[in-house]
Structure 1
Amino acid sequence: MSLHPERLIILDRDGVINHDSDAYIKSLAEWTPYPSAITAIARLSQAGYTLAIATNQSGIARGYYDEETLEAMHTRLHELVHSAGGEIAYIAYCPHGPNDSCHCRKPLPGLLEQIQAHLGLTTLEGSWMVGDSLRDLQAGEIMGCRSALVRTGKGEKTETKGVGLEKAQIFDDLNAFADWLIHAHAAG
């Protein structure tokens, strides 16, 4: 069975799945998931959605942590989601800093293009991009994704600014998005 873009949900990581920090998440010990987000990912997965993650990780370019440390965080994330009965299909991350002129740092679409290629999709039109910042939603919109802003992480601050959110659905957290999407799909 091939994946339809409408069944793909792309998540930002920091502030959506786990607590964010202005000082960066630099170690596995500092990586603290929202328990309801892990459950939400599992529920969405069980409801037939494919989940992927697109995350800017400029702390690597800044020398705060290395790719091995990031991999340990992502291994833990996979384990928690798997234990809850779900699955994450792919994690794309940008290790570059804001001045590195890369194509993958959101709001540019490179991470989403990686996810599209990895999953063998011809388009992301109709997929969901869920984030806590405008740059997450902008990256998704470039690729034709529907947008959902969560109020966790930087989400409340993003919502207060109100700029660029015309197309976005807004939810308290990833769990509220999962409730809405699963219910909307069951009703529709």
Structure 2
Amino acid sequence: MYDANKLVILDRDGVINHDSDYYIKSLEEWLPYIGTIDAIARLSQAGWTVAVATNQSGISRGYYDVAALENMHDELNRLVADAGGNIAHIAYCPHGPDDGCDCRKPRPGLLEEIRQTLKLNTLAGSWMVGDSLRDLQAGEAMGCRPVLVRTGKGRRTEAKGSGLAQAFIFDDLTAFTDWLLSQ
């Protein structure tokens, strides 16, 4: 049984792995930040449920296909499992910004998918960790506590300042994990 108060939802690119303005198109380009795999495993080992919510518009743009994305996610799951952790669910939006879908962050569709998959009544009390305002907005729409990390686009997001009044801000996923596990 899952508990929203013990759930951490992570954005992928810029939080777990390096981001690129040219998209992460293949397993070879998918490079986790130092410490992120261990941070996810530590959360799991401490009784937290970890899920991922990621916009992947490169699919609709034709830069890569679902099989390439699944290769990246299989590797993420394998690395986390090898480190002693688990990712409960990975939700992704394959649509572009003009497709009008409900799943592309800042809309909360990916988080709703996670809520339904984990059979939770609510996501209120869970954590949404991202490097962009749209990550935090999607989480806030579902009652999540917003966390901005400075990796990826996080420093640019922090510099803009807008919409971050409620956000907890950390240098990276490892720093957030260290803090959360010390509470």
TM tier, shorter chain?
A: over 0.9
CA drift of 1:4 comes to 1.4
Q: For the residues of structure 2 that align with 1:58 and 1:4, how far apart are their CA atoms?
A: 30
Aligned to 1:3: 2
- Structure 2: give runs of 5+ residues left out of the alignment: none
CA drift of 1:41 comes to 0.3
Within a 5 Å distance, the mapping from 1:37-76 to structure 2 comes to 37-76=36-75
Query: Alpha-carbon deviations, 1:128-169, whole Å to 9, x = none?
Result: 000000000000000000010000000000000000000000
Q: For the residues of structure 2 that align with 1:38 and 1:165, how far apart are their CA atoms?
A: 26
Q: How many residues align?
A: 183
Q: For the residues of structure 1 that align with 2:108 and 2:146, how far apart are their CA atoms?
A: 14
Aligned to 1:183: 182
Aligned to 1:13: 12
CA drift of 1:97 comes to 0.3
- Structure 1: give runs of 5+ residues left out of the alignment: none
Amino acid at match of 1:181: L
Q: For the residues of structure 2 that align with 1:103 and 1:141, how far apart are their CA atoms?
A: 15
CA drift of 1:35 comes to 2.7
Aligned to 2:129: 130
Q: For the residues of structure 2 that align with 1:4 and 1:26, how far apart are their CA atoms?
A: 34
- Counterpart secondary structure, 1:35: coil
Aligned to 2:93: 94
Scaled by the length of structure 2, the TM-score of the pair is 0.99
Amino acid at match of 1:22: D
Amino acid at match of 1:76: E
Are 1:162 and 2:161 an aligned pair? yes
Query: Alpha-carbon deviations, 1:99-143, whole Å to 9, x = none?
Result: 100000000000000000000001000000000000000000000
Amino acid at match of 1:7: K
Query: Alpha-carbon deviations, 1:39-93, whole Å to 9, x = none?
Result: 1000011010000000000000000000000000000000010111100000000
CA drift of 1:3 comes to 1.6
- Counterpart secondary structure, 2:157: helix
4+ runs of 1 displaced by more than 6 Å? Answer: none
Aligned to 1:151: 150
RMSD: 0.4
Q: For the residues of structure 1 that align with 2:2 and 2:68, how far apart are their CA atoms?
A: 31
CA drift of 1:34 comes to 1.0
Q: For the residues of structure 2 that align with 1:82 and 1:21, how far apart are their CA atoms?
A: 26
Q: For the residues of structure 2 that align with 1:4 and 1:91, how far apart are their CA atoms?
A: 17
- State percent identity of aligned pairs: 69
Aligned to 1:142: 141
